[in-house]
Chains A and B, each alone.
Chain A
Amino acid sequence: MLSKRNKEVLFNPLSNDNPVLVQILGICSALAVTVKLEPAIVMGLSVIVVLSFSNVIISLMRKTIPTSIRIIVQLVVVAALVIMVQQFLQAFSYDVSKQLSVFVGLIITNCILMGRLEAFALNNKPWPSFLDGVGNGLGYMIVLVIIAFFRELLGSGTLFGLTVIPNWCYEHGYMNNGLMILPPMALITAACIIWVHRSRNKDLQEKSN
């Protein structure tokens, strides 16, 4: 089940081959859903589901797909899955679907999906493709959660909607940083995470000339 290669496929995207930190994919949605922790987590879970299943489906179809229309085929599969996730959420978990509203639709445009379908699922068997989807989805979710943690803590003084900064801080002049709520701070936070990540992983650093 989990051979050495499969383990690499599953765990590499968490750090060494992280889709956001190393491949710099999916930045746009990292910026849109990271104001609060809760939507960030649900978005991460939805991406894991859609990515792993679209990987499996494309992998099953990989021998029949004509090369010149493969991107269209991938898009149709992803879009169909996303619409299905949306429909099921609306039928069985209406509150969550209300919270996610536009974000689920955003998954279709997430570059990580197309990237993984193109780079992995088209050339690999279904089981490794499934693991690859779970791994990359998790790698994406971890980064979202870290960014959302800092943005919610510093921007609204809350975590999961609960106030964590004690009142006496506000009484002594502490203020929530409104800038953290705005999109640019997501990029700056992501850049800080990449900086820390690269400085701890020497082999990822680009060689200077």
Chain B
Amino acid sequence: MNKNSNSYQILYAAIMVIVVGAVLALVATSLKPRQQDNIANDTRKQILSAIHQSAPSDDQVEATFNKFIVCDYLVDTTGAKVDTTRNCAFDVNMKTNIKEEHPKLPVFEANVDGATKYIIPMYGAGLWGPIWGYVAVNDDGKTIYGAYFSHASETPGLGAEIESENFQKRFNDKTLRYQDGQVATPSVEKKGTGDDQIDAVTGATITSKGVDAMFKKCLAPYAAFFASKGNGQQACDKHDCEKPDCDKPACCQQGECKK
């Protein structure tokens, strides 16, 4: 058979492509359930690291997640819950969601040692590719409890440092401020040390700016949600409601506050 005839070459190429295509399709479909499990577990791990928790082993990620994360829901830009189906916050694609006019905003509510934390997913652009993360906010709606960041392809040793604990712990206990219904997030800048500033990664200016932009863009629609969590007010105390001179009606259920 003439190996260099046109018909042989065309036939050869066609058969090769069909065989390779079939093998790849088979591999991809048979491994897909495992890969999706891995991705879901990885998301759970990332959410857990925003509240400084980790699973003892890879099999226990889901159990640990269910232990700490009490519920998840979607809120709209006025802070009202629109969907409380279990795991509904999981399926939100932050990449497209954040661009919409009326985004449905996912919130994971966690319980760490009796205190409630709200975990918000973030998505943005770094230097070479996407970056994303989770930020956990205390129940006062303004103190950051913890943050987690990851990236697709930032430079190892430079931009990739946003994934390190050393960078992430700089967010702990920083303050979110509110002005005219807008949230002012801590800014990531060189040598930032104030309680609304975060020290940027040396040598990774563009990635740091990306984190800063992501933070501001993704937290802004939550302004009303956080405002409803007692921002600007003193912490609630149930005993206040029984006092005759109760002055915090927002803390008490209807009719409880005597005033």
Q: Do A and B bind each other?
A: yes
Q: Is the CB of A84 within 8 A of B27?
A: yes
Q: Which of B9, B27, B203 contacts A87 (CB 8 A)?
A: B27
Q: Is the CB of A66 within 8 A of B155?
A: no
Q: Is the CB of B35 within 8 A of A36?
A: no
CA distance in complex: A80, B155 (Å): 27
Selected interface stretch from A9-17, A91-99, A110-118, A125-133: A91-99
Q: Is the CB of B34 within 8 A of A69?
A: no
Q: Is A204 an interface residue (CB 8 A)?
A: no
Q: Is A68 an interface residue (CB 8 A)?
A: yes
CA distance in complex: A83, B35 (Å): 14
Q: Is the CB of A102 within 8 A of B153?
A: yes
Q: How many residues of B sit at the interface, in one of the four size bands? A: 20 to 34
Q: Is A88 an interface residue (CB 8 A)?
A: yes
Q: Which of A64, A91, A101 contacts B153 (CB 8 A)?
A: A101
CA distance in complex: A84, B21 (Å): 11
Task: Give the distance to chain B from A189, nearest Cβ to Cβ, in Å.
Answer: 15
CA distance in complex: A68, B6 (Å): 10
Q: Is A121 an interface residue (CB 8 A)?
A: no
Of the listed residues A35, A87, A92, A155, the one surrounded by the most CB atoms of chain B closer than 10 A to its CB is A87
CA distance in complex: A87, B202 (Å): 35
Q: Is B112 an interface residue (CB 8 A)?
A: no
Q: Give 1 or 0 for each of B4-17: 1 = CB within 8 Å of chain A CB.
A: 10001100110011
Q: Is the CB of B20 within 8 A of A80?
A: yes
Q: Is A72 an interface residue (CB 8 A)?
A: yes
Q: Is the CB of A178 within 8 A of B203?
A: yes
Q: Is the CB of B155 within 8 A of A181?
A: yes
Q: Is the CB of B34 within 8 A of A80?
A: no
Chain B residue at minimum C-beta to C-beta distance from A161: B164
Near B by CB (< 8 A), chain A positions 54-102 give 64-69, 72-73, 76-77, 80, 83-84, 87-88, 90-92, 94, 98, 101-102
Q: Is the CB of A36 within 8 A of B152?
A: no
Q: Is the CB of A98 within 8 A of B153?
A: no
Q: Is A135 an interface residue (CB 8 A)?
A: no
Task: Give the distance to chain B from A200, nearest Cβ to Cβ, in Å.
Answer: 30
Task: Give the distance to chain B from A185, nearest Cβ to Cβ, in Å.
Answer: 11
List the 4 closest pairs (A to B, CB-CB), nearest first. Answer: A94-B38, A91-B31, A91-B34, A35-B156
16 additional contacts, CB 8 Å, given A66-B8, A76-B17, A87-B27?
A35-B155, A65-B3, A66-B4, A66-B9, A67-B4, A68-B4, A73-B12, A83-B24, A84-B24, A84-B27, A91-B34, A94-B38, A94-B41, A98-B42, A181-B155, A181-B203
